[in-house]
Amino acid sequence: MRLFENELVVALNKPAGVSMATSSREERSGARAVERLLAACDEEADPRGELRLVHRLDVGTSGVVLLARGDDAHRALSRAFQSGSARKTYRALAWGHPVPARGACDAPLERDPADGRKMRVARKEGKRAVTRYDTIARLPSVADLRLFPETGRTHQIRVHLAAKGHPIVGDDLYGGATRWHGVRDPARRRALQAARPLLHAERVEIPELSIAADAPLPADYASVLGALRGHG
């Protein structure tokens, strides 16, 4: 689904389950990632190879992704993300109720030496990472959060929330996928058996480039919200 476009960018609503991972291998190139994303969003292919990845979402994360129209646009957008002038807003359903209800996580992050797939809070020196959060609603067993990452580290939101004791519902990598076992109410327990981390890139805004794109909540996230509100 196309959310926004101008002469610099095309903004798409990425479904959960689409990999944007890239490497030096041809089948995992940036061009192939763009192809997968376009197909998943029911968009036409990019026959001239014009579109470029600017940033990535984890395979299980849904929401706004920006594709640059050519190399000059890619440089301008990349500078915006690197400088922090690209404002990102996420939604997440997290276990428990953070205290305080509004705050920030600023723990530096590093690769987990015991599991190369994961990041962790750095034991000594790590890369600076800052995530502000605001509680939208306290629901049975979980909180609906709006999050504002000020840096763009790998798995940043997922690690910061897990480190605070509030992993994201459905996040098997950071401890949020099995907590539903402790929920007593059968209807809530069924609702919270999420098939993926319930993390959604809700908005990306770059004011100086006149870019603003919003993605509606996906059906699985909205369904869990509805089930919890209906059994509150």
Q: What does the pLDDT look like over 93-144, one tens digit per residue?
A: 999 999 999 999 999 999 999 999 999 999 989 999 999 999 999 999 999 9
**34 phi, psi to nearest 5 deg:** -65, -45
Residue 232 has pLDDT above 50, yes or no: no
Residue 25 has a pLDDT of: 81
Closest Cα partner for 199 from 163, 166, 165?
166
Give me the domains of the chain, ranges plus CATH numbers. Answer: 2-230 (3.30.2350.10)
Average pLDDT over every residue of 148-154: 96
Q: What does the pLDDT look like over 164-189, one tens digit per residue?
A: 999 999 999 999 999 999 999 999 99
Residue 193 CA to residue 184 CA, distance in Å, equals: 13
Residue 49 has a pLDDT of: 86
Residue 40 CA to residue 25 CA, distance in Å, equals: 21
**120 phi, psi to nearest 5 deg:** -150, 165
Contact between residue 166 and residue 143 where contact means Cβ atoms under 8 Å apart? yes
Residue 29 CA to residue 225 CA, distance in Å, equals: 36
Closest Cα partner for 53 from 72, 82, 31?
31
Q: How confident is the model at residue 153 (pLDDT cuts 50, 70, 90)?
A: very high
Q: What does the pLDDT look like over 64-95, one tens digit per residue?
A: 999 999 999 999 999 999 999 999 999 999 99
Alpha carbon 53 to its chain centroid, in Å, reads 15
Catalytic (active-site) positions: 58
User: Cα dist. 216→71, 117, 204 in Å?
Assistant: 29, 29, 12
| pTM metric for this prediction | 0.95
